[in-house]
Each structure stands twice: as structure tokens, then as C-alpha cells.
């Protein structure tokens, strides 16, 4: 029994013993007052009594008593006069008590009182109704959120129990709520979004956890938008908000979530929400309102709230730099209002830590963006790392950029913090690594590193900027504190240390300083950390870290050098300078009509100019006859020129990764990071691993006080295949972006020669970033070797479809048409959920979704389906180009050892009807019916393609069939 029910029960017991003379009925049948709701400020309270028997009201006088819950001390008592009013069929009396001097409710000191309303007749208490309350004032003022006349930054989390797959008996229990809220406060979360659950609100009142509540749905009482405004306002007041309105922990009301911001319904929603806000603010002015969470831009309400999933579905975590300027993220001149992101971060990891591959959704393409085709044993770690990284960037940029945009007021990452949700106790939930990132990034006094040089050479001097943001939970200034910073090696041993006395930093202020950090010259190559700690009187009150990769000259000295003469076409001389710094042996040339076939022609960065175009025919013939060509990064204009030299022109893309417009333009973007090495063991990646391909060092000396962005993305000249069949002549070595559609590094084979296309920003980082330098050397060395370059991956072991390590780079993003089949892993209570397979072949546990409302439900890769041709619509949802045709196709190229006669594929038909699969190996095709809900092996003869060599058999394998069919394994025998 929750507290409000208990109080009502006690009231009814009291009424059983007190006769109501002249009413004509017993108290047990009809109490006069059914309950009260307090609306508090800092020194006043308005108590609204909900009338059950209006006929009896005139027979009573009223008295209010307000006393401390902790010790019973009376704050105020006395007779009061009420003002009655009716709201449709609901009758109320309102009592105002002002001029109080209470102990205020804050997150650190959640002081509670008990308000008692007594009905007096004949000098006796005929009925008493009570309710807890806390005194505080929440308001929007000068573009900030204020609590008790102090600005406050909201460090929120959006995905929380109860519900979300936790058994009701557990998730709605007081003990579970207490343990959960206590833990969230321990990692410095100060506000959570929860459903209308009385027990949880009680616990938040008691523990000082602020709450974002209200109507978090896409409609108002099921209407989108409401037709009858008064019906909607009545629903808000009497049905939706009234049960939670008395709780001091409740800071924010949402009127609706993600109502359309454009299209025919947008003006209707804006008109209704403007009216609704005016009415609701009169009803309860003790909180702030978000009229349209995520999409309203603050056109009505107190807060300009936005939902952006930068660093998950699209863009990057650094896109949050746009929040410095409201005009970058809001499509009109906004009024002075706090800015919040009540949904952001994303990165939906499942119970085993891997990204959730929910079908017909943005998640699978997003997974490829951030963890790529890494082996299964790395997927969970990489997913956890990127979830934490995105959380870090969003939270810390939001806080430290207040020095530029004072309206930045809070964020609520919509991300999954726990592994387990089918639990019997909170202790079983098992926090994910992102919770420890929250502990650092949500520290009330934040230490945050701004450093745009994650890769450096030993002996270099770094100039990181340390930011300190004082959001002390007690609203206190930071004084008499020190900054201790250290460079730590892999054993956490300090290599460099220093201490800095900090000035007075007032509450809600930010402070920053640029440091000089000299890296010792004798450090071995490896991973290091820059650690900072704020100490006071010997106690650490905040700390944070920045990861560094440091390399010595041996990283470049050990690179394989070109065995062929290198001819450089580079009119600007920029690439020439970089090659000289790396001691590359080359000769500049403009004589391109008669190139030696034993040489490598290197086109410098942005050197594909009009002069090169004059020799396009000669250069194409050079490649066809066996020459090798390298094209370093070309901007849009020069890449178009380069296409004249290619037998397979590439698709020139122009979208900017950090374009803040919503919805974003179709991807891929021209710039990118988190490059996925399709062939990790390839000579191009010698000395370089996946971690080294995420973010590179800025070469512009940029910092956050400047406009624009740092130059930290490895890819600035990315491209896509011009035609999906061009994959047959293209080896993709590095790709990026949603669905891995963007290409950073690829080799096109033409005749006897090949062209290496590079979209990586290498030359600008010469001498600054050891990873970029090593990759440039690898490119020249690889193209200048005398070995035959393999066009296709060599398959020697069975291909387990959906297992990236097994697939060995056979499939490149959306190009192959073979889509990962996401299958729900049903454990515990989820075993009871029936499986549903749609006509498009998507398999769901009961219904679509589940990755956020049932985060304990994980979808995993289980085979692949012939789904193409398809593209990624919206924010990355797979869409067949011909959705009316249920037959899909997929293909890949590979090489197998001589003597392989048969390609055997295990095919699963999960449907309830017979389905036919057609499999083609080069020019030989077979077809076979697969019985319902069974698997079958389909064999197809391997016939070498015309012109095949005795050393290897090249294969194009094509699968055609209903999109419900699942390919599980292919092997060559």
C-alpha cells in the first residue's frame, strides 16, 4: 500500500468514528475531502483540497498544520479561509499560506514537511487529511533553470525503471526504488525521468532526486493533436498531472513528446500547446514546462528542448560543439530560454554489452558505424567504450560550453546503463561501464580536458586546456583548491606530474587554463593517460582522464618502403614536403604521357587538377597495362576530376558529418572517423590497429573559444561506390559511417594494374600525428611492392554469416545486399514472448522495438538475408528499393584455393510456407525449395570464371530469394 493510499485509508477510519450531523450520510459512505495536493514555493504553499461532498462544505471551518516530518516541529498552524472552485465535475477548495520560513528542499537536503488539513465542527476535528510536501521554487529565469533562486544544471538520465522489463513486483517495490535512486545519486545523477509511479516519487522526495515527469507520449489522452482543448486541459489537470503534482522532487512537466514539428499537423500542435501551456502554468506555476519535448524548440513552454542522437544514429559526439551557438541548432531566432536535450547519446547496448541489432531499425547501421566489422569477441568492449565516449562528450561539452552559451541547462542521455533487467533485486542489474563515465562527467565540480591531439610523438609538447565547472550540489564556491595533473603509463605510473593552485571559482561559473605538457623523449610507443584531479585539504573532490597514443620515431622507421620508383604529381608542393619529412624516395614529374610500368604514380593531395586531366587517357592506359596509381585525399572538385582517370568512377559525396540540421541529409558524409579496417591484417594497416583509426590530432591549433571545428577527423575526402557492381573490381580496405557506406581507403583493379584511392587527411598531419604518418608510408610501400595484389579475400574456412570475423571483409556496407538477420535472444521471462516474422523477413519478439522499453531483450546477428538492392532511409533504416517485390538479392566476391568443386550453403526458412532460394556461383545457378521452419543445405557447383589462373579461383556468388530466407553458413569443398 503506497503512502497516499495509506493516508486515505486512515482518513476513512477516522471518519467512521466521527458523525457528520446534518449531512444525512455517514463518513464511511462519503468523506467531505478525498485528499489534498500542495503546491509550494520557497515561503508559501497553496493547498488544494479535493471535495467529495460539496453539500457539506458550509458546515465546517478549516485549519492547517504544517510540521516537520523528521522531528514533528510545527512550522505553521492556524485557521484558514478557502476559495472553492469547480473544474468540470471535479470540485476543489484552495487554501493559501504565505510568509513562511521553512527549511528548503534541495537535492542534498531533501527536507520534508507534513501538511494537515483539518475540518472543524463544534470545536472538534471531524476529518483530517494530510500530505507530505517540500518547499522549493523552480523557474525559468534569464535563460537558465533556477532552484530556490540558484541556477542549477540538470544532470539527467532518461531511461529508468519502473517497467522496461523489470518484473512489476520488483520494479515497483520501495526497496528497489530506494536502492536504484541511491546508486544513481552516487554517480552524480541529479534528475531522472520516470513514469507516474507513487512509490518512486516518494523515494525521490526523500532522497533528493529531482524528477522530469508529465505526459511523455506522442499524444494527449490518445489524440494527436487534441480536437477539444478543454477536454485535454481537464485530462492534464485532473487525470495525468494531479496524482504527481504534490511531490517536491517533480521539477519539469512535459505536455507531449516529439509531436510533429513540420508538416500539416505542426501548426495545429503549436496552437494547442501554446494554449495548453498558458492554462497549465496558471494551474501550477511551481514547476517549469516543456511543451513539446524534443521537437518544440521552446515555441511555447519554459524550456527549449531538443532531441539529438549525435554520435549514435548519425554525426559524431563532436557535433555537440554546435550547442555553443543557438542559431546552429535552432532554425529561428529563439527567445531567452534554457536549452536542454532530454534525449541524446543513444548507443543501445544489450545485456551482453553488444549493440542491439533490432530489425527494421537504425540500430544495425549504427552498430557498423562505431564498432564496424570487429570480431565478435571485441564487439561488447568496443560498444561499451563508444557508449561511454559519447556520454562523456555530450555531458562535458554541455557543461563547459556554458562559458560560450549560458542557456545550456541540462541533458538526459537516453541510453541503457545496466546489463540486466530481468532481476529480483537492484543489485542484480549490474551497471555498465558508462555509469563510471557518468560518475566522472557528472561530478558536481567537473574537471574536463579539452585536448585535440590524441596522437603524439615522444618529445612533443602538448597544450591541453583544463576546464573546471562548478555545479556544487550545495551551491558553494570552490576555493582553496589545487589541480594535480599527471601523465600516466599503462601501469598507472606517473611519468610527468605538476600541481597548480586554483583561483576562486564561483558557483555555476566555469574556468579554464592552457597547460604545457612536455612528453619525455624516451617513452616507448603505447597508450597513456593524462589524469587531472582537483584536491582540497588533501581530499580529491573531482578527477578526469584523457587518453593518448604516444609513439617514437621507430613507428615510421619500421615501415616497409617502396621497391618501385615513386613519381609524384604535386603542383602545390604540399605532399612533396610531407614525403621528404618521412624520407620517402621519390621524383616529382609532370611528364605523364609515357609512364614506366614498373613505377608508382602518386597524385598528391588535391592535385587532380586540369593539368592532370589532359593526360587522363595515358594514365588509364598506364594502369590497364600493369602500372599502379595512388591518389591521396581529394576535395570535391578534385575528386570529380579524378573520376576521369578511373574505369569505375566513384560517387562524390558532399554531406558534412557535423551538419546540425534535423533531420540530417542522407549519408554517407564526406568526412568521418572511427574508420573500420575491413582487412585488419592487410599491409596497409601494419603497425596500426582499430583504436588508432578513431580520431587523429588537430593541425589547426583550434580551441573552443574559436568558431568552427577542430581538424580531428581522419577522413575528409570520403566517397562511395558509383555502382554497387563496382565492388567486384574494388577492394574496400577502410570504410566508415552508418552501414559503412562511406569509403576511406580502397583499391580499384583495372586490367593488370590498380588504383589506390585514399580519402584520409594525411599530409596536413605530417610530423604531428604518428598514425597518419605511418599510414602514408604504408600506402606508398604497399603500392610500390612487386607482389601481386589480391583482388578478393581468400576464403579457406566456412563463412558463418553474421559473424564479422568469419566473413573476412567479404561484405562492404549496403553494397552487397546481404543484410544481417537480427534475432531476439529470449531468456528468462522473455521466453514466453511469441516470435513474429514480417513479410519483409524481420523477426521480432512479440512486436517491433524492444531495444529501449525492454532493454533486457537483445537482438543478435543470426545469419544474413538476401535483402537488396536496398539503401538506408531516414536516420539509417534499411529500405528495399523495390518494397513491393518480396524477392531480395545479395552477392559477394571471393577467391578460393584450386580444387574446390562445390559451394555448400546452409539456408533456414523461418516462415510457415515453402520458399525457394536460388544460388549462383559465377555462371552456374541452382534452385531449391526450403520447407517451412526448417534448414537445408543447398549445393552449387564451383566453375572457374573465364580467365581464372591456376593459383586461385575467383568467385562471384549470388543469392536470390524471399527476404525471409536466412543464410547461415557457406563453405567451399
Q: Which residue, 767, 703, 696, 693, is CA-closest to 460?
A: 767
Q: Which triple of cell numbers denotes residue 898?
A: 584450386
* Spatial distance between the Cα atoms of 463 and 768, rounded to a whole number of angstroms: 13
Predicted local confidence at residue 947, as pLDDT? 58
Half-sphere exposure of 12 (CA within 13 A, CB side): 11
Predicted local confidence at residue 7, as pLDDT? 39
Q: Is the peptide bond before 869 cis (omega within 30 degrees of 0)?
A: yes
Q: What are phi and psi of 451, to 5 degrees?
A: -145, 120
Q: Are 630 and 785 in contact (CB under 8 A)?
A: no
Cβ contacts of 768 within 8 Å, gap of 6 or more: 453, 456, 457, 697, 699
Predicted local confidence at residue 20, as pLDDT? 32
* Spatial distance between the Cα atoms of 648 and 627, rounded to a whole number of angstroms: 16
Which residue shows C-alpha cell 565492388? 727
Predicted local confidence at residue 84, as pLDDT? 87
Q: Which triple of cell numbers denotes residue 676?
A: 573500420
| Cβ neighbour number for residue 229 with a 10 Å cutoff | 15
**Strands of the sheet with 138-141, listed across from one edge:** 138-141, 144-147, 150-151
Q: Which residue, 558, 575, 559, is CA-closest to 567?
A: 575
| Beta strand pairing call for 887-896 and 953-962 | antiparallel
pLDDT under 70: residue ranges of the chain: 1-29, 945-951
| Cβ neighbour number for residue 798 with a 10 Å cutoff | 15
Q: How far is CA 718 from CA 543, 650, 651, 737, 911, in A?
A: 37, 10, 9, 10, 40
Predicted local confidence at residue 877, as pLDDT? 94
| Cβ neighbour number for residue 788 with a 10 Å cutoff | 10
Q: How far is CA 282 from CA 39, 227, 316, in A?
A: 12, 21, 41
- Give CA torsion, residues 114, 117, 123, 124, to 10 deg: -80
Cα distance between the two ends of the chain: 68
Please work out, in degrees rounded to the nearest 5, the angle formed at the alpha carbon of residue 702 by the alpha carbons of 701 and 705. 135
Amino acid at each position: 500500500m503506497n503512502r497516499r493510499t495509506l493516508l486515505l485509508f486512515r482518513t476513512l477510519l477516522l471518519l467512521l468514528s466521527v458523525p457528520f450531523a446534518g449531512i444525512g450520510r455517514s463518513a464511511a459512505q462519503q468523506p467531505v475531502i478525498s485528499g489534498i495536493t500542495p503546491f509550494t514555493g520557497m515561503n508559501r504553499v497553496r493547498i488544494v483540497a479535493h471535495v467529495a461532498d460539496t453539500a457539506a462544505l458550509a458546515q465546517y471551518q478549516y485549519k492547517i498544520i504544517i510540521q516537520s516530518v523528521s522531528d514533528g516541529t510545527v512550522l505553521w498552524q492556524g485557521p484558514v479561509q478557502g476559495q472553492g472552485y469547480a473544474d468540470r465535475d471535479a470540485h476543489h477548495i484552495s487554501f493559501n499560506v504565505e510568509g513562511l520560513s521553512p527549511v528548503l528542499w534541495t537535492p542534498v537536503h531533501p527536507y520534508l514537511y507534513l501538511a494537515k488539513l483539518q475540518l472543524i465542527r463544534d470545536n472538534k476535528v471531524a476529518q483530517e487529511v494530510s500530505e507530505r510536501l517540500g518547499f522549493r521554487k523552480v523557474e525559468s529565469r534569464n535563460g537558465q533553470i533556477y532552484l530556490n533562486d540558484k541556477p542549477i544544471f540538470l544532470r539527467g538520465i532518461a531511461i529508468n525503471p519502473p517497467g522496461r522489463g523489470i518484473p512489476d513486483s520488483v520494479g515497483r517495490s520501495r526497496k528497489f526504488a530506494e536502492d536504484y535512486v541511491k546508486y544513481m545519486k552516487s554517480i552524480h545523477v541529479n534528475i531522472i525521468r520516470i513514469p507516474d509511479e507513487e512509490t518512486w516519487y516518494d523515494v525521490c522526495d526523500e532522497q533528493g532526486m529531482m524528477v522530469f515527469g508529465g505526459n511523455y507520449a506522442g499524444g494527449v489522452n490518445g489524440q494527436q493533436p487534441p480536437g477539444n482543448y478543454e477536454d485535454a486541459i481537464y485530462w492534464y489537470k485532473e487525470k495525468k498531472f494531479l496524482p504527481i503534482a504534490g511531490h517536491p522532487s517533480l521539477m519539469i512537466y512535459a505536455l507531449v513528446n516529439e509531436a510533429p514539428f513540420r508538416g500539416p499537423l505542426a501548426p495545429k500542435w503549436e496552437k494547442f500547446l501554446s494554449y495548453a501551456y498558458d492554462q497549465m502554468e496558471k494551474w501550477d506555476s511551481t514547476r517549469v514546462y516543456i511543451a513539446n519535448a524534443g521537437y518544440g524548440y521552446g515555441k511555447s513552454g519554459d524550456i527549449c528542448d531538443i532531441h539529438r542522437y549525435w554520435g549514435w544514429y548519425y554525426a559524431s559526439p563532436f557535433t555537440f560543439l554546435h550547442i555553443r551557438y543557438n542559431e546552429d541548432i535552432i532554425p529561428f531566432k529563439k527567445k531567452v530560454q534554457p536549452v536542454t536535450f532530454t534525449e541524446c547519446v543513444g548507443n543501445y547496448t544489450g545485456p551482453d554489452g553488444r549493440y542491439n541489432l533490432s530489425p527494421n531499425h537504425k540500430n544495425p547501421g549504427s552498430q557498423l558505424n562505431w564498432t564496424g566489422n570487429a570480431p565478435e569477441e571485441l564487439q561488447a568492449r568496443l560498444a561499451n567504450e563508444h557508449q561511454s565516449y559519447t556520454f562523456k562528450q555530450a555531458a562535458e561539452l554541455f557543461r563547459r560550453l556554458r562559458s560560450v552559451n549560458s542557456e545550456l541547462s541540462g541533458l538526459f542521455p537516453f541510453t541503457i546503463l545496466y546489463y540486466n533487467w530481468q532481476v529480483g533485486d537492484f543489485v542484480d542489474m549490474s551497471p555498465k561501464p558508462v555509469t563510471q563515465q557518468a560518475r566522472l562527467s557528472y561530478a558536481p565540480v567537473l574537471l574536463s580536458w579539452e585536448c585535440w591531439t590524441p596522437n603524439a610523438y615522444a618529445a612533443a609538447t602538448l597544450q591541453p586546456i583544463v576546464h573546471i565547472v562548478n555545479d556544487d550540489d550545495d551551491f558553494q564556491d570552490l576555493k582553496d583548491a589545487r589541480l594535480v595533473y599527471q601523465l600516466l603509463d599503462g601501469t598507472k605510473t606517473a611519468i610527468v606530474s605538476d600541481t597548480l593552485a586554483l583561483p576562486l571559482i564561483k558557483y555555476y561559473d566555469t574556468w579554464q587554463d592552457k597547460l604545457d605538457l612536455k612528453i619525455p623523449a624516451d617513452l616507448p610507443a603505447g597508450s597513456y593517460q593524462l589524469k587531472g584531479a582537483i584536491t582540497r585539504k588533501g581530499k580529491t573532490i573531482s578527477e578526469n582522464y584523457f587518453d593518448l597514443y604516444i609513439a617514437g620515431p621507430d613507428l615510421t622507421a619500421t615501415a616497409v618502403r617502396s621497391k618501385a620508383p615513386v613519381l609524384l604529381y604535386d603542383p602545390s608542393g604540399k605532399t612533396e614536403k610531407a614525403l621528404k619529412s618521412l624520407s620517402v624516395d621519390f621524383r616529382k614529374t609532370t611528364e605523364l604521357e609515357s609512364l614506366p610500368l614498373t613505377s608508382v604514380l602518386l597524385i598528391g593531395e588535391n592535385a587532380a587538377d586540369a593539368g592532370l586531366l589532359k593526360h587522363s587517357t595515358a594514365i588509364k592506359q598506364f594502369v590497364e597495362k600493369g602500372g599502379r596509381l595512388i591518389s591521396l585525399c581529394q576535395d570535391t572538385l578534385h575528386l570529380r576530376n579524378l573520376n576521369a582517370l578511373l574505369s569505375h568512377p566513384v560517387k562524390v559525396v558532399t554531406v558534412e558529418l557535423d551538419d546540425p540540421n534535423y533531420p540530417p541529409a542522407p549519408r554517407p558524409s564526406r568526412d568521418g572517423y572511427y574508420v573500420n579496417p575491413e582487412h585488419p591484417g592487410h599491409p596497409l594497416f601494419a603497425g596500426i590497429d582499430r583504436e588508432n583509426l578513431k580520431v587523429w590530432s588537430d593541425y589547426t591549433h583550434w580551441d573552443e573559444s574559436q568558431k568552427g571545428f577542430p581538424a580531428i577527423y581522419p577522413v575528409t575526402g570520403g566517397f562511395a561506390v558509383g555502382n554497387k557492381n563496382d565492388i567486384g573490381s574494388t577492394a574496400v580496405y577502410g570504410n566508415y559511417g552508418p552501414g559503412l557506406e562511406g569509403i576511406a581507403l580502397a583499391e580499384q583493379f583495372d586490367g593488370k594494374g590498380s588504383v589506390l584511392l585514399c580519402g584520409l587527411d594525411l599530409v596536413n598531419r605530417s610530423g604531428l600525428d604518428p598514425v597518419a604518418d605511418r599510414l602514408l608510408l604504408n600506402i606508398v610501400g604497399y603500392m610500390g611492392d612487386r607482389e601481386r595484389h589480391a583482388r578478393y579475400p581468400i576464403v579457406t574456412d566456412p563463412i558463418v554469416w553474421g559473424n564479422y570475423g568469419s566473413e573476412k571483409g567479404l561484405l562492404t556496407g549496403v553494397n552487397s545486399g546481404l543484410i544481417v538477420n537480427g534475432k531476439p535472444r529470449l531468456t528468462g521471462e522473455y521466453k514466453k514472448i511469441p516470435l513474429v516474422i514480417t513479410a519483409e523477413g524481420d523477426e521480432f519478439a512479440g512486436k517491433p522495438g524492444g531495444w529501449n522499453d525492454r532493454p533486457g531483450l537483445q537482438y543478435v546477428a543470426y545469419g544474413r538475408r538476401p535483402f537488396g538492392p536496398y539503401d538506408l532511409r531516414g536516420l539509417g533504416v534499411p529500405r528495399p528499393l523495390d518494397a513491393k517485390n518480396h524477392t531480395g538479392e545479395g552477392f559477394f566476391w571471393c577467391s578460393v584455393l584450386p580444387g574446390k568443386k562445390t559451394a555448400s550453403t546452409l539456408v533456414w526458412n523461418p516462415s510457415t510456407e515453402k520458399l525457394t532460394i536460388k544460388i549462383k556461383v559465377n555462371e552456374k545457378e541452382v534452385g531449391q525449395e526450403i520447407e517451412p521452419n526448417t534448414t537445408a543445405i543447398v549445393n552449387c557447383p564451383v566453375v572457374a570464371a573465364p580467365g581464372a589462373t591456376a593459383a586461385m579461383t575467383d568467385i562471384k556468388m549470388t543469392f536470390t530469394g524471399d527476404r525471409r530466407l536466412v543464410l547461415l553458413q557457406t563453405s567451399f569443398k
